[in-house]
Amino acid sequence: MRVDGLSKRFGLHQVLDNVSFRLDAGGRYCLMGPSGVGKTSLLRLMMGLEQADSGRILGVDPRALSVMFQEDRLSETLNPVENVALVHPDRRVSKPWIREELSELLPERSLAQPVRELSGGMRRRVSLACAVLAPSTLILLDEPFTGLDWDTKHTVVGYLRSRTAGRTVLAATHGRDDAGLLDAHTLTLSSSDGKK
């Protein structure tokens, strides 16, 4: 998967300027940079939700892409198991299997609760499971560790590493230690030139 000379402007604000990089199949990558530097905009371009002003993105198959957005996109009245089943492309996916997977990330008692009753950190973990449990080859994660304490973050990182082997993962984050925890390559987006 390759990004070549990608540029994007919103009004007078140049968000991305001639950004280029390559992601190898099966690699893990952290897209680093301070808030407001364009990480989310870059992911939205890769998802096809925005159009670049110039440049191109090659090798992204929308049918083989799963996403964790910066904001949780969950059905408030459904429980975590139902939320994962709702977005999973295979309608025959087993709810007991989903429950078993989610029990690695959440307390057992929370699996039957509507997500509106869950904490912010628990909701992030449900959103992560929605992306990771989809049968995708490219996973885009926007600030996946927001709202997680240190111990929970380690649990989530371990889960993410074990469940994404052989798949390409790009996680946008500003946490300095995230690349090391994920054993990921670092791509740094700077406000000065937008290049990695």
The answer as to whether 193 is a domain residue is no
Using one digit for the tens of pLDDT, what is the confidence trace for 154-184?
999 999 999 999 999 999 998 888 999 999 9
Using one digit for the tens of pLDDT, what is the confidence trace for 116-159?
999 999 999 999 999 999 999 999 999 999 989 999 999 999 99
The CATH number of residue 101's host domain is: 3.40.50.300
The answer as to whether 196 is a domain residue is no
The answer as to whether 129 is a domain residue is yes
Coil, strand or helix at 186: strand
The answer as to whether 87 is a domain residue is yes
The answer as to whether 195 is a domain residue is no
Is the pLDDT confidence value at 195 over 50?
no
pLDDT grade, residue 192 (50/70/90)? low
Give the tokens for residue 196.
């990695």
What residues make up the domain containing 82? 2-188
* Residue 170 phi, psi dihedral angles, 5° rounding: -125, 115
Give the chain's mean pLDDT. 93
* b/e per residue 156-182 (b: at least 16 CB within 10 A): bbebbeebbeebbbbbbbbbeebbebb
DSSP run (H or E) holding 14? strand 13-22
- The count of structural domains within the chain is 1
